[in-house]
Amino acid sequence: IRLKDVINKMRVTRNDVAKMAGVSAATVSYVLNNSRKFSDETVKRVMDAVQKLGYKPDNIARSMAKNNTHQLAVVIDSILNPYYGEIVLGFENTAIKNGYFVNICSGSNNLDSYFDNFISRRIDGILVLALPDKYHSSKLYDLVDAGIKIVSGGIEDIDLKRISLLDNNYGQGMILALEHLYSLGHRDIAYLSSLTGYEKSDARYKSFIDWMKEHEVNYPEKNVFTSHSPYNVHIQGGLHLAQKMMNSGKKFTAVVCTNDLIAIGAIKAFTSAGLKVPEDISVVGFDNVMYGEYWTPSITSVTYDKQAFGQKACEVLLNNIRSDVTGFYRANVSMYIGDSTAPAKDI
């Protein structure tokens, strides 16, 4: 007896379910796909047979017939960054409810090869959250040309007729951060930006410059400290930027950071230099990651509902898959007031 014959005998088929339920094989398919209406009694007979026999539909064959795989992918910048966790959770929960499997891909390396594999694996749609230095933007349009739908959460300019866009109102978030610091008496404020080379595309940077000019700060660009590419949006980047700021010779009473990891690194650098946070210098981050709330001091941060953002990203992507219509969504932001900010100290 050949092993293949034994496996085939053990494998439950749609015909086996139909025979036990006393219906046609086509009816079994319609019931499982919920593509036609049947009486409750017929549905119950089919589902009882499925459960008793342990039948599992052949998803590969179904995908080939329908020309989709019911697979999505999320491309994140780093699996080590907790910022992405809540977004992926919201995205994945929504995808599962709609019958989709989600692949999580980390952008620790060049992503171009990932994008090529998405085409060969016939992924239906992708949420791209990785920073734009990890891939060539032309690859996104190669995916669209191959029939793969895309939602971008990046800062690159894109063709909204072909690719959906989601972002956070980081411009407004920077204004909220600056107004919070201003209300505490801070006037000498720096921005520690890890998005080197993309300042003009970074809404935080633009809002920082505009706000500072409105408050009659001369040459506000000199209050922005950046590092060399590639991006370093992690704690080490915050250490480097804070040290660069302290070495500049200019005194500041507060800093706003690209994200909370940069803020944590900055706090480490300040305390190592003998400065107290927030007594000597106040620190504001972005994204309000869970680590920030439990850090000492807890990070004052621009925040938004990241799970809801992930859910919305999946909904926009599924709508694009089903109706071929792209979408745009911008999340509103607010302030989480932690212990890393306090009234300004005279300098």
> What confidence score (pLDDT) does residue 4 get?
42
Q: Residue 89: is it exposed, middle or buried by C-beta count within 10 angstroms (0-12/13-18/19+)?
A: middle
> What confidence score (pLDDT) does residue 130 get?
84
**Cβ-based neighbours of 6, under 8 Å, separated by 6 or more:** none
| Cα–Cα distance for residue pair 75/130, rounded to 1 Å | 6
> What confidence score (pLDDT) does residue 60 get?
46
Reading the chain (347 residues) residue by residue, the pLDDT tens digits are 454 444 344 578 888 888 899 998 888 878 877 667 889 899 889 889 888 888 876 554 454 445 567 999 999 888 888 899 999 999 999 999 999 999 998 866 667 777 888 888 889 999 999 877 777 778 889 899 989 999 998 655 788 899 999 989 999 999 999 999 999 999 999 999 987 666 666 889 999 999 999 999 989 999 999 976 555 778 999 999 999 999 999 999 999 999 999 999 999 999 999 999 999 999 999 999 988 888 999 999 999 999 999 999 999 999 999 999 998 999 999 999 999 999 998 75
**Cβ-based neighbours of 163, under 8 Å, separated by 6 or more:** 140, 141, 144, 150, 151, 152, 326
Nearest Cα to 82, choosing from 233, 276, 207?
Answer: 233
pTM over 0.85: no
> What confidence score (pLDDT) does residue 5 get?
46
Strand locations in the chain, DSSP E? Answer: 71-76, 101-106, 125-128, 149-152, 164-168, 189-193, 224-226, 254-257, 282-286, 300-303, 328-331, 334-336
